[in-house]
């Protein structure tokens, strides 16, 4: 790349760099993994270039989309960022705006999460955008993601329509060496087409700029360079293409299995159909819905999700893709002499054992003590939960449901009404985080107050958006770039709704929190609640990861082993990762590398310890 400066960065920073170099003027987002690092990247590169880009964390994805769309209507180059389920929140605006003529440019970066890794669903943004007639780009690597972001902004600005870029989490969080250009000087040519070993099909090949550089070349179908003829070819897009190319290379079948890489979807390039029509069988590898497979629509010659060759759901990993290609290659007669004799990844891992470790709250997390208190106070209650770190309360039995942001509050209302119709009044304790409360909890709480629902709502306030990377909340009083701004307190909003029972509790004070939960339940059932209002408890303590200093130990060094009787109730009910049961000693030990010496396990031990008589 000559004298171009290079820098290793994750895909999200590459996207940010591409947008900045394309002349971005406004960016808005709500943090959601795997998209959260794009706004910080934009802010970083804007500072480096001495630019004047406005970048903000919006209250939710709809706000982010509409702010960016408004700027694009006036002629600005704007972008908004979100994850795939965030597009659901912005969908009413997106649906209305998708065909509007804009004066500037608008790029929606919607990061998908196959698997899913950190989401409640793995929906495919390509599917909804294709159905809605919106152009969507699907990059295959961090470097290509930056090129695609740059090209998408130019495309949008030229055609005056919103466009979508859909990277998956492997693209967003992988690292690659990225060239840094001055804004407006980058020249991008997207390498969409047939990828083969150099010297294979066709005579005019050029090095592949992105993904698997040095291994394959690209051929653009033309009269002088017709599509390949053969038994079996592959169509792939996004990270699935990068993995597929690696698999075919390692199976020593680059000369035998041509691959068509799709970057732009709706409309797809004509070359894709020429490629498909030139081969007897086509394998479609894409994440995660049937999009390219539906676009190709060539009946029995296409192998993919429809006929069961590709799993119906989940991420397409290296092992999965290799198994699929090997199966189809064998069936078409290519596998007998084409496979590399190298030991497979599966064989190389046979001697390695892994101990599965389920996700759990951090040691010292204030949410853990809140969940423990909720379950201890009302073990038979219904616990509607929400999206965020606090979803992990499910492992403690204090989260029963998780559908979408703010859904726990509405579910609590529905549960209350359903049971009250049958003449029953049972404990219902909903939980929601501070950022989620502002994102999607205001309307459900107002509705519950207006229509007389009786349940306890615990707002877990840790002063940050923890799960997605410590972004500020409306309470933080700072903007995305660190500028001080107005802080909005949760308690002020709750009081404005007319909620009478409101307590603010340090969740580390477990006995007080248990007592307060019981007080809240008694209030709901009492004559003092004639209007039938929810009861509110705010558990307020800073996230342990963002705390400047670790909390003071309640008793100095934590020594839970000394009086341990091996009952395991602390691991069963408290679920702290720093508590480890020693099978040899038949006692709990402390993992000093994880323990923050909060002393909460000692409180839990004293509260849950069974008597020796009961143990017998």
> Does residue 345 carry a pLDDT above 50?
no
- The residue whose two tokens read 């309640």 is 554
Q: CB of 65 within 8 A of CB of 80?
A: yes
Per-residue pLDDT tens for 171-218? 999 999 999 999 888 888 888 888 764 333 332 223 333 333 333 445
> Does residue 554 carry a pLDDT above 50?
no
3-state SS assignment for residue 248: helix
Token pair in block for residue 79: 């972008």
| CB neighbour list of residue 77: distance below 8 Å, 6 or more residues apart | 22, 23, 24, 25, 26, 104, 105, 153, 157
**How many Cβ atoms are within 10 Å of 578's Cβ, its own excluded?**
21
Per-residue pLDDT tens for 101-158? 899 999 999 999 998 888 888 899 999 999 999 999 999 999 999 999 999 999 999 9
Q: Tell me how far apart the alpha carbons of residues 77 and 53 are, in angstroms, rounded to a whole number.
A: 10
Length of the chain: 616
Q: What is the mean pLDDT of residues 82-91?
A: 93
Task: Identify which has the larger pLDDT, 459 or 613.
Answer: 459
Q: Tell me how far apart the alpha carbons of residues 261 and 272 are, in angstroms, rounded to a whole number.
A: 9
**How many Cβ atoms are within 10 Å of 36's Cβ, its own excluded?**
24
Identify the weakest region by mean pLDDT among 141-150, 313-322, 580-589.
Answer: 580-589
State the pTM of this model.
Answer: 0.85
- The residue whose two tokens read 């009786």 is 454
Q: Tell me how far apart the alpha carbons of residues 398 and 227 are, in angstroms, rounded to a whole number.
A: 58
Which pLDDT value is given to residue 210? 38
Q: What is the mean pLDDT of residues 406-425?
A: 93
First to last CA, the chain: 74
Q: Tell me how far apart the alpha carbons of residues 64 and 99 are, in angstroms, rounded to a whole number.
A: 18
The mean of the pLDDT values for the chain is: 86
């Amino acid at each position: 790349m000559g004298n171009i400066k290079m820098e290793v960065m994750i895909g999200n920073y590459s996207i940010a760099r591409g947008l900045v170099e394309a002349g971005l003027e406004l960016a808005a987002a709500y943090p959601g993994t795997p998209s959260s690092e794009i706004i910080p990247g934009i802010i970083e590169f804007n500072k480096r270039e001495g630019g004047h880009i406005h970048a903000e964390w919006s209250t939710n994805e709809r706000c982010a989309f509409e702010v960016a769309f408004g700027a694009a209507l006036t002629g600005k180059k704007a972008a908004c960022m979100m994850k795939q389920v965030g597009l659901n929140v912005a969908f009413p605006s997106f649906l209305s705006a998708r065909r509007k003529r804009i004066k500037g440019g608008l790029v929606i970066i919607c990061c998908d999460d196959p698997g899913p890794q950190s989401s409640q669903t793995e929906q495919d943004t390509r599917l909804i955008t294709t159905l809605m007639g919106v152009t969507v780009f699907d990059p295959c690597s961090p470097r290509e993601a930056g090129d695609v972001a740059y090209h998408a902004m130019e495309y949008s600005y030229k055609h005056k329509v919103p466009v979508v870029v859909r990277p998956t989490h492997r693209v967003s969080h992988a690292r690659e060496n990225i060239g840094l250009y001055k804004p407006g000087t980058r020249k991008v040519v997207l390498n969409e087409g047939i990828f083969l070993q150099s010297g294979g099909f066709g005579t005019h090949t050029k090095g592949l700029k992105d993904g698997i550089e040095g291994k394959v070349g690209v051929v653009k179908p033309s009269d002088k360079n017709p599509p390949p003829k053969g038994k079996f070819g592959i169509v792939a897009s996004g990270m699935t293409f990068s993995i597929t190319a690696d698999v075919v290379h390692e199976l020593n079948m680059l000369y035998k299995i041509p691959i068509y890489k799709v970057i732009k979807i709706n409309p797809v390039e004509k070359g894709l159909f020429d490629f498909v029509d030139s081969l007897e069988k086509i394998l479609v590898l894409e994440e995660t819905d049937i999009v390219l497979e539906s676009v190709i629509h060539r009946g029995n010659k296409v192998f993919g999700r429809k006929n069961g060759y590709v799993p119906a759901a989940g991420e397409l990993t290296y092992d999965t893709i290799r198994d699929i290609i090997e199966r189809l290659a064998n069936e078409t007669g290519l596998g007998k002499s084409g496979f590399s004799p190298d030991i497979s990844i599966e064989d190389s891992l046979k001697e390695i054992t892994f101990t599965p470790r389920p996700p759990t709250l951090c040691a010292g997390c204030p949410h853990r003590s809140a969940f423990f208190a909720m379950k201890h106070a009302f073990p038979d209650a219904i616990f509607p939960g929400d999206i965020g770190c606090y979803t992990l309360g499910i492992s403690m039995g204090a989260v029963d449901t998780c559908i979408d942001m703010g859904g726990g509050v509405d579910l609590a209302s529905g549960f209350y009404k359903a049971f009250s119709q049958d003449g029953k009044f049972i404990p219902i304790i909903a939980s929601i985080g501070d950022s989620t409360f502002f994102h999607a909890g205001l309307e459900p709480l107002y509705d519950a107050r207006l229509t007389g629902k009786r349940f306890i709502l615990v707002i877990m306030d840790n002063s940050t958006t923890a799960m997605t990377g410590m972004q500020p909340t409306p309470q933080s009083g700072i903007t995305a770039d660190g500028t001080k701004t107005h802080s909005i307190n949760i308690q002020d909003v709750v009081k404005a709704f007319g909620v009478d029972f409101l307590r603010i509790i340090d969740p580390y004070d477990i006995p007080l929190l248990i007592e307060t939960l019981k007080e809240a339940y008694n209030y709901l059932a009492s004559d003092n609640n004639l209007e039938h209002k929810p009861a509110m408890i705010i558990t307020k303590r800073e996230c342990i990861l963002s705390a400047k200093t670790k909390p003071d130990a309640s008793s100095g060094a934590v020594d839970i082993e000394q009086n341990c009787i091996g009952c395991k109730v602390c691991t069963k009910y408290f679920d702290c990762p720093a508590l480890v049961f020693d099978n040899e000693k038949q006692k709990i030990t402390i993992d000093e590398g994880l323990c923050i010496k909060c002393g909460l396990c000692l409180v839990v031990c004293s509260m849950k310890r069974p008597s020796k008589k009961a143990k017998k």
